[in-house]
Structure 1
Amino acid sequence: MQTSPAVPRQASRPTPPTGAETVTPSPRPGGRFGLTTATALVMGNIIGGGIFMIPAAVAPFGTVSLVSFAVLTIGAIALALVFGQLARRNPRTGGPYVYAREAFGDFAGFLSAWSYWITTWVSNAALAVAAVGYLDVLVPIGHSTALTIAAALTVQWLPALANLAGTRFVGAVQLVSTVLKFIPLALVAVGGLGFFDPKNLGPFDASGQGWLGGMTAAAAILLFSYLGVESAAMSAGEVRDPERNVGRASVLGTAGAALVYLLGTLAVFGTVAHDQLVHSTAPFSDAVNAMFGGSWGGTVIAVAALVSMTGALNGWTLLAAQAPYAAAKDGLFPAAFGRERHGVPVFGVVVSVALASLLTVLNFASGAKGAFDILVLVTTFTATVPYLLSTAAQLYWLVRGGRAVAPGRLARNAVLGVGAFGFSLWLVAGAGYAAVYQGVLFLFAGILVYVWMAGRRAAA
């Protein structure tokens, strides 16, 4: 397989097509990711470790949270379809960054890339911390801070080494980890339905806020379960036939993740008594114990969670390098982020993992747990900035080239675009005031980097 070609700087600002359905010509060699691997990348990045706590997190709101799941799934699939349409226009690595810059210029593109980059490496630190918690169930290491830090760093750097070995290895690891994580999840999601007892469900509106208030409150927790829907678009340059497969992989991966989320939550709701579930710290373990007896569920779920988080770290490490890579090729990030080896932006991988490692060490060594929690919460805001800019770009192209598109297709795409924009805006609202405030500060801090790079380009 050949490495995807670098995008020439003089061609970094493509001429906008006249119609919203126009496909940007892409005479490019075949990528390393086929449809199956690209779908696994999307599913693996959406399903991290959060699924193992979701049923307990939404149980206080009652079964109305299942309605929230259904509504959010529709929004997430609409967003996936929009990414597929945007990838047909411009199938370059960088996804949301590329779409925002093409439609709105350098500054919007930079904000998208900067915001997404923050999201990826801070989220990777959070995943590593959570993974160590599950590892402690299998191998007690919590008594030693040094061992805990060493384990967290190992969990981060092993996926990084897989990335540095080349995108072929990234795809293989992602495919294997996605298959392995679905074995125990399917055991609960499908097998649990055979042990389903409606008496365990509890009330429809357990919070007493009314069904609409309960659904909205549950949605604020569930909204972030779908982060990662953009994974195939971010790595479009590594996907074979991206004009077709990015959209397919985005939809299939999102739908697959949604099915696992929904069936898993429903199965846990039906096997664990509601009064027990609202206080559970390991709902899937409790479900396995309820289904088969004994107390071995905790070990099974700990292994599943570790596999799930390792796969998510593998995929997110690649994405952490892709956004600054695309921006570096256009002169908006330092040039080092655009250097490749075996098709992988090496500098981007190393710097992103190093920053995540530093944050992890600070968390464990200095006890800065409060600050760490704030940073993690900030990512729920920073992740939505590229979504909003991408969906706005889709609407921009529809408005600009709408007369060149068949009325039926224009109406369909407009509904999808508005729905995806509304979904993204709901993500921002669900993040909360504190996260939005802190996230805006992080976002605007990047303006200094933009000023530095823009000044250097102007002086060149």
Structure 2
Amino acid sequence: MESPPKHKMGTLQLTIITVVNMMGSGIIMLPAQLAGVGNITIISWVLTSMGAMALAYGFAKCGRYSKNIGGMGGYSQYAFGKSGNMLANYTYAVAIVIANVGVAISAVGYFCKVVDIEIGGITTALMTMFFIWLTTLPNFWSSKITGKIGTVTVWGVIIPVIGIIFIGWYWFKSDIYVAGWNPHQLGFFDALPQALALTMWAFLGLESASANSDAVENPEKSVPIAVLGGTLFTAIVYIMSTAVIGGIIPYETLAISSAPFGLVYAHMFGDGVGKFIEIIMCIACLGSLLTWQFTTGQVFKSCADVGYFYKIFGRVTKRGAPVMGLVIICLIQSAFLLMSITPSFNREFNVIVDFSVVIDLVPYILCMSACSTIMKSSDDYKAGKIKHSKLVLVGVVCFLANAYTLYAMYSSGSEALVYGSLVTFAGWIIFGRYMSSQLNINATSTTEKVVQK
């Protein structure tokens, strides 16, 4: 029996990465972002949690029965061929490159709150670049380094958030919560879309276990556990913590905060405790960025391995780290920052959220649509181990997941949809060039054989 690869992570580390990728970039800033709409967003949390669990269930089945490498691209290939593989990985890669900039901006916002400084657009961009490069360096070693660091930094989110859930009710006031329920008197179907894109952003990362399947021991077992367990845990935490905070801090104060958890702890225990929470949450945000950069490198490597991206993204060190690819990704993110300088943290964060959500949901749709095909292509189905009733259940859940995903795209707004569509359509242009290059390779190979004869 072969021993597992030395530098691959286990189920626990994969689950932690999944949780960190969701919580680190989501819950840290969202209480303030959602306060701008009101506490009515709790309904969006519930709806998004249900949609996220449906997606997680579909991804768990994909991970259980798929034999293809390449994460979501490999899943999509079962139903959509090479074009589906390329489009899934391409859109996911673009989405997380952009989304990581948003995570880094969140870290800068918390850091500025910790040191009590106000900075302008250029300084913000430079600090964000610094954090991006800082959190990429540990990924030059191996996947286990990322898992170990994520194991430590995740507590910077978990401890304050769990603390709010258990002790925050003592400071909870129903009149504050009611006053912030729907302060702008929005209609239900007006308020729901405004919050849906933000809550979906918080769950982006549930697919991290699938995206990192090539870097984990026993992916058929580890991926389903990580994606379902991590998503369920995160959903409970999101709903409970935001509900409590909405009854402690008035919505108008919460909405303008760049460090909402520091604000609520300062209200409960004083400025010293609030400052400490800001520090550990800043570290946790950097930990989230670390794991997201790792995921980005793995996605680009997977695309390069099958020929959709330049081969330089697939080059790895002896420890399996795609160093050159990570450097190029950081350069792209730095250029993106310089082109999108804005003096407002919240404005840039919201734009990035909407844009990345639209693009990131494209591979979700492809994977959910391919799930039944994956199961029917498996050895278990051919051996008669998968009952028809199970196939029907998976088909229904994946259909509901897709319905929710389409609505989340719509909720991101027309501008994000337009730009997201243009980026997606550009993927077919790239795929067309890839197919052309493959024909050239095949033609060259055939010519060489003829010459040899």
TM-score bracket for this pair, using the shorter chain length: 0.7 to 0.9
1:71 and 1:368 mapped to 2: Cα distance? 27
1:153 and 1:279 mapped to 2: Cα distance? 24
Letter in 1 for 2:303: A
Structure-2 residue corresponding to 1:327: 303
Paired residues of 1:378 and 1:436 also in contact (CA < 8 A): yes
Letter in 2 for 1:288: Y
Worse-superposed segment, 265-274 or 313-322: 265-274
Q: 1:288-327 residue pairs with structure 2 within 5 A?
A: 288-292=265-269, 294-296=270-272, 298-327=274-303
Q: 1:59-208 residue pairs with structure 2 within 5 A?
A: 59=35, 61-90=37-66, 93-139=69-115, 142=118, 148-202=124-178, 204-208=181-185
Structure-2 residue corresponding to 1:385: 362
Given the superposition, is the C-alpha separation of residues 424 and 64 from structure 1 closer, same or farther in structure 2, using an over 3 Å criterion?
A: same
Is 2:432 the partner of 1:451?
yes
Shift in Å, 1:284? 2.4
Shift in Å, 1:370? 8.2
CA deviation profile, 1:110-136 (whole Å, cap 9, x unmatched)? 111111111111112222233222212
Paired residues of 1:99 and 1:393 also in contact (CA < 8 A): yes
1:195 and 1:225 mapped to 2: Cα distance? 25
Structure-1 residue corresponding to 2:448: none
Given the superposition, is the C-alpha separation of residues 135 and 250 from structure 1 closer, same or farther in structure 2, using an over 3 Å criterion?
A: same
Structure-2 residue corresponding to 1:237: 214
Is 2:393 the partner of 1:412?
yes
Q: 1:50-61 residue pairs with structure 2 within 5 A?
A: 50-59=26-35, 61=37
Letter in 2 for 1:238: A
Letter in 1 for 2:130: T
Given the superposition, is the C-alpha separation of residues 105 and 139 from structure 1 closer, same or farther in structure 2, using an over 3 Å criterion?
A: same
Shift in Å, 1:149? 4.8
Structure-1 residue corresponding to 2:450: none
Worse-superposed segment, 213-222 or 347-356: 213-222
CA deviation profile, 1:186-227 (whole Å, cap 9, x unmatched)? 222322123222222115554434545544443243222111
The one of 423, 441, 454 equivalent to 2:422 is 441
Given the superposition, is the C-alpha separation of residues 91 and 42 from structure 1 closer, same or farther in structure 2, using an over 3 Å criterion?
A: farther
Given the superposition, is the C-alpha separation of residues 38 and 28 from structure 1 closer, same or farther in structure 2, using an over 3 Å criterion?
A: same
Paired residues of 2:104 and 2:132 also in contact (CA < 8 A): yes
Structure-2 residue corresponding to 1:336: 312
Shift in Å, 1:329? 1.7
Shift in Å, 1:163? 0.7
2:162 and 2:353 mapped to 1: Cα distance? 29
Shift in Å, 1:458? 0.8
Given the superposition, is the C-alpha separation of residues 454 and 399 from structure 1 closer, same or farther in structure 2, using an over 3 Å criterion?
A: same
Structure-2 residue corresponding to 1:11: none
Given the superposition, is the C-alpha separation of residues 232 and 391 from structure 1 closer, same or farther in structure 2, using an over 3 Å criterion?
A: same
Shift in Å, 1:446? 3.1
CA deviation profile, 1:37-66 (whole Å, cap 9, x unmatched)? 111111111113442332233335544322
Shift in Å, 1:140? 5.5
1:261 and 1:370 mapped to 2: Cα distance? 22
TM-score, normalised on structure 1? Answer: 0.85
RMSD between aligned residues: 3.1
CA deviation profile, 1:85-132 (whole Å, cap 9, x unmatched)? 111222555311111123211112111111111111111222223322
Given the superposition, is the C-alpha separation of residues 438 and 364 from structure 1 closer, same or farther in structure 2, using an over 3 Å criterion?
A: closer
Q: How many residues align?
A: 434
Paired residues of 1:47 and 1:308 also in contact (CA < 8 A): no
Given the superposition, is the C-alpha separation of residues 76 and 365 from structure 1 closer, same or farther in structure 2, using an over 3 Å criterion?
A: closer
Paired residues of 2:301 and 2:313 also in contact (CA < 8 A): yes
Letter in 2 for 1:105: G
Consecutive unaligned residues in structure 1, runs of 5 or more: 3-26
Worse-superposed segment, 388-397 or 362-371: 362-371
Shift in Å, 1:373? 6.6
The one of 403, 406, 422 equivalent to 1:422 is 403
Worse-superposed segment, 91-100 or 388-397: 91-100
Q: 1:359-378 residue pairs with structure 2 within 5 A?
A: 359-364=336-341, 374=351, 377-378=354-355
Worse-superposed segment, 185-194 or 72-81: 185-194
Paired residues of 1:115 and 1:385 also in contact (CA < 8 A): yes
The one of 212, 226, 231 equivalent to 2:203 is 226
Consecutive unaligned residues in structure 2, runs of 5 or more: 442-453
Structure-2 residue corresponding to 1:43: 19
SS at match of 2:9: coil
Letter in 2 for 1:423: Y
Letter in 2 for 1:116: Y
Letter in 1 for 2:70: G
2:171 and 2:255 mapped to 1: Cα distance? 19
Given the superposition, is the C-alpha separation of residues 318 and 93 from structure 1 closer, same or farther in structure 2, using an over 3 Å criterion?
A: farther
Letter in 1 for 2:217: R
Letter in 2 for 1:437: V
Paired residues of 2:7 and 2:143 also in contact (CA < 8 A): no
1:40 and 1:422 mapped to 2: Cα distance? 28
Structure-1 residue corresponding to 2:226: 249
Given the superposition, is the C-alpha separation of residues 223 and 88 from structure 1 closer, same or farther in structure 2, using an over 3 Å criterion?
A: same
1:368 and 1:222 mapped to 2: Cα distance? 18
Worse-superposed segment, 412-421 or 359-368: 359-368
Shift in Å, 1:257? 1.6
Paired residues of 1:30 and 1:240 also in contact (CA < 8 A): no
Given the superposition, is the C-alpha separation of residues 208 and 173 from structure 1 closer, same or farther in structure 2, using an over 3 Å criterion?
A: same
Shift in Å, 1:459? 0.8
